[in-house]
Amino acid sequence: MYWTLMKLYLIIVFFIFRKCARRVNVLSLTLDSHDSNFSDVVDALSFMTKLDAELITFIDDKELFLCVFILVYIENMSQQQKNFDFMNHEAHYDCCFCFIHLNDRANLEFNVIKEDRFHHEVMRMRKNMKQMKISQKNRYCTFTDLNQQMSLAFISSTLDIILTQSSDSAHSKYENIIKLLHSLLINTIFISVIMIKYEEQLRSFFFSSEWFRIQSLIHHLESYSFQKHACWSIIISNLLRCWLKKFHIQKKYIQAIEQVFESSIKDEVTSLDLIITFFVIIAKINTLLMINSLSVEDWVDFQDAIKHFRWLFQRLHEAASQAISSSWNVFRDFSLFSQRSSVIASTQSSESLKSAIRAALSKKKFLTNDFENINKRLNVHINCHHELIIKEYNMCSNCNVLIEEDKHW
């Protein structure tokens, strides 16, 4: 029998980064079972409001005023929305940082500053919501992504409820985007016969002595940890530059890339160059998000680098959608031919052939829709707000979940 507990990890921020990340300096406070009422858990933490408001205490027989306030809450995005009672992936505007509709997330020109959420604005919206009837309140909550009560804001009432949330760069990059790109590479870009060679090259490629070896991607990709996704994102850029050839890539995908990048591609740049360049940019972006310090040049160019990355990310997935749609048309035409052919239809093997074709059609259609919806994911859109977190906390690495995850595991 297993009993899952809810814990709060307290990270002391005035330490230097290395001391802050040490497990012994991460204090764990066990609260209650995981399935308990979250509002009850918040009520149990009400004693922390005294620390936030200033407390008179005695240290070394001296009367002192003690103020230990919470600077930022660190968790994945779904839990952050629950922490501050935003609705979780149920509203039209479910981003905690801005008012962007789920259908507009692929728009790279969306003005996240003009449509930003602000602390006093959200508090005013909550105040107006209390005066509404139940039916109006439910519709208003669904539309604005606000829930009907507040949770952790009760503990730290003096903090900005928007900036107190981290942008969760670790989950959005390693657990989401890097995983998507790895799947894109092995399922859509590479031809099937090259997969064994790719795995051999990946597992024999140079690794840092401090890194663990990556397990078989064919069998263990779904269970990769943050660390393995992070290692892969750094290694793959060098591996592709040294090893990848044009005949390793599916012809349909090459044709789709040339069509998608037709207006922006230069004569000397090939589809192979675009793929390799994109994975080099991924390594650069991950470094900027997780490094302990930024150069002046990286600071100035940070948002442009994020925007360029998202533009390439969308174009490559658009090419994947077109490549799969093209393959789907081939399967469909062959299926129609099989149905009209009395010779093929009369054989017993044709039934298994047609069932295989139907299964392939179903899978291709699912993958096409999946690629088209990837750019609408909240984990992809949140990249627009990393700059906001850097301006507030100096570095994304100062408020990501990796310290907590290390203590947790």
pTM: 0.75
pLDDT for 342 equals: 44
Select from 15, 23, 12 the least CA-distant residue to 402: 23
What span, in angstroms and rounded, lies between the C-alpha atoms of 313 and 13? 34
3-state SS assignment for residue 62: strand
H-assigned helices in 191-340: 195-204, 217-220, 226-243, 251-260, 271-290, 296-340
CA distances from 297 to 283, 304, 373 (A): 17, 11, 34
Select from 139, 145, 91, 138 the least CA-distant residue to 122: 145
What span, in angstroms and rounded, lies between the C-alpha atoms of 58 and 12? 21
Task: Please count the residues of the chain.
Answer: 409
CA distances from 373 to 107, 258, 302, 409 (A): 13, 22, 26, 32
- Based on the number of CB atoms within 10 Å of its own CB, is 386 exposed (0-12), middle (13-18) or buried (19 or more)? buried
pLDDT for 331 equals: 44
Q: What is the torsional sign of CA 405, 406, 407, 409? A: positive
Radius of gyration of the chain (CA): 25
9 - beta bridge partners?
28
pLDDT for 197 equals: 87
DSSP-assigned states of every residue in 139-151: HHHHHHTB-SS-S
pLDDT digits (tens), the chain, 409 positions: 444 556 677 777 777 777 777 777 777 776 655 555 666 666 767 777 777 777 788 888 888 888 777 777 777 777 777 777 777 665 678 788 888 888 888 888 888 888 888 888 888 888 888 888 888 888 888 777 787 666 777 777 777 888 887 777 766 666 678 888 888 888 888 888 888 888 888 888 877 777 777 777 777 777 787 778 888 888 888 899 889 998 999 888 888 888 888 776 666 778 888 899 899 988 888 888 888 778 888 888 888 888 888 888 888 888 888 887 776 554 444 444 344 444 444 444 555 555 655 555 454 544 555 666 777 777 788 888 888 888 888 787 777 777 766 666 5
Strand 26-33 to 55-59 pairing? unpaired
